[in-house]
Amino acid sequence: MKQIVTFCDLNFFKILVKNLYMLQIRSKSENKHLFIESTLPKFLTAVRQKTLKNEITFKGIGLHTGNKVSMKIFPADENTGIVFRRNIGNKIILIKAEYTNVKSTKLCTLLSDNNGNSVSTVEHILSALYAFEIDNVIIDLTSNEIPVYDGSAQDFVMKIKEVGFEEQESFKKFIKIKKPVEVKSGKKYARVCPFDNTLISTEINYDHKLIGKQSISVMLTPQIYESQICKARTFGFLKDVENLRRNNLALGGNLDNAIVLDEDNVLNKDGLRFSDEFVRHKLLDFIGDISLSGYRMLGSFFSSHPGHEMNIQLLKRVFQSPNNWELVCSN
């Protein structure tokens, strides 16, 4: 198995080892996860909520609908959270970015209100906002799908950094995992364990010579996300395109916004951005999906054969019992 552990830089890794942080280690011989536990320094104290300094505008097409869409992200008051806003028939529709509003996970994450008004493919923009620790924004859309751009979160990150952030008066709150929680479905598996930071590990295994087995672990920070995760694009297989389009999916997909593979090759003329771009994109999606908890989650996550459905099921299982988690304030 190809094992990649990505950290901010070598000094951060040395500090991590020196302080004996709890790391997930892949045991090749036993094919299971081992844990090394020790005392952790406090995650963060007195961290205030953040919003954007100014609004941001994005224009593009939806990956699955193929529709043109304009998206504006506005700063929002503290304790607002992430809220999608649409004007449908002169009526303002608000859909909060929360797992309870997920109505479909078929090839993307779709949120909907009780009247069927929806916004889909939310995972990439939510992933970028979550990684950059943005708590409060309003996202205006002229259509029902987020613009896909190049199939990654790179454009979102660039513009978020360009406008900058603004600290707010209220302190951040975090979901702290209190006990291990897991979900399984055939080969698919997801788990979160107590940890005083956000550590995410994932692995994939595709029967394709250019993918095969890949795995990655990251301690989530804005720096790691920008350098190692946000550029990884969504991907698909040429043999599946016709069937997807018959089902009104991937109608806006092309070589400019997705990696496409035939039986032997990557069809994109510039090839891959990383040799393991596939698993990095799965991790990007995972970050976007867990953001639907509504708060930054403190825990050590692991997923195998990940997908949107399993990611959301993990959140649902966590919040199924108050014994699994607690809401803590950074002050």
Residue numbers annotated as active site: 308
Chain centroid to Cα 331, Å, comes to 26
Token output for 170: 């209220």
Report the C-alpha gap between 268 and 259 in whole angstroms: 6
- 194-210 burial, b for 16+ CB within 10 Å, e for fewer? bbbbbbbbbbbebeeeb
Instruction: Using alpha carbons only, give the angle 70, 74, 80 rounded to the nearest 5 degrees.
Output: 125
Closest CA to 3 of 261, 319, 214: 214
From residue 119, alpha-carbon distances to 113, 154, 157, 247 in Å are 9, 20, 20, 18
Closest CA to 111 of 141, 156, 145: 145
Token output for 267: 């069809």
One-character DSSP codes across 285-319: HHHHHHGGGSSEEEEEEEEES--HHHHHHHHHHHT
Instruction: For residue 223, give the H/E element and its range.
Output: helix 222-224
Backbone angles phi, psi at 187, to 5 degrees: -80, -15
Q: Give the start-end residues of each E strand in 117-253.
A: 118-119, 137-141, 165-171, 173-177, 181-185, 188-193, 198-206, 212-219, 235-237
